[in-house]
């Protein structure tokens, strides 16, 4: 390949790529298009979907466990991160209604599942 065909060096292309990425991030940051929040109450823990498991139906699920765990918190199902103990959120449906949970043979009544805003104690 002659010098007239090779116009740019690989190093120049890599530097241009790096500067383009950094410049794009700076422009998005300065115009407010990248939103940062310190309030963990506004950060979704994850996105979930339910798999219907009926009688004699097979379903496929990854054998590798997720880095999340579930617990019953004041009558509702809470999802927590195994890697960050401060990151926990209540599981809600598409209308932002909590998914109730119970520990024991009988489900709780609708009145006992309403969260108590004064107490921050988890129930089991």
Give the model confidence (pLDDT) of 44-86 as tens digits: 666 777 777 788 777 778 889 888 899 998 899 998 888 888 8
Q: What is the pTM for the complete model shown?
A: 0.46
- Bridge partners (DSSP) of residue 68 are 81
Rounded to whole angstroms, the Cα distance separating 83 from 86 reads: 9
Which residue stretches of the chain are H helix?
10-30
List, in order, residues 6 or more apart from 93 with CB less than 8 Å away: 99
pLDDT (mean) for 89-109? 78
90 lies in the same domain as 112: yes
12 lies in the same domain as 45: no
86 lies in the same domain as 96: yes
32 lies in the same domain as 60: no
Size (the chain), residues: 124
- 12: domain range? 1-36
Q: How many domains does the chain have?
A: 2
Structure letter (DSSP) for residue 19: H
């Amino acid at each position: 390949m002659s010098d007239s065909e090779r116009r740019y060096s690989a190093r120049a292309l890599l530097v241009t790529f790096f500067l383009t990425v950094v410049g794009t991030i700076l422009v998005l940051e300065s115009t407010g298009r990248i939103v940062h929040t310190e309030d963990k109450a506004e950060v979704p823990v994850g996105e979930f979907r339910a798999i219907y498991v009926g009688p004699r139906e097979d379903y496929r699920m990854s054998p590798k466990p997720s880095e999340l765990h579930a617990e019953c918190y004041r009558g509702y199902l809470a999802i927590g991160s195994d890697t960050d103990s401060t990151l926990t959120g209540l599981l809600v449906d598409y209308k932002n209604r909590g998914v109730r949970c119970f520990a024991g043979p009988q489900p709780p009544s609708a009145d006992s599942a309403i969260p108590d805003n004064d107490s921050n104690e988890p129930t089991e």
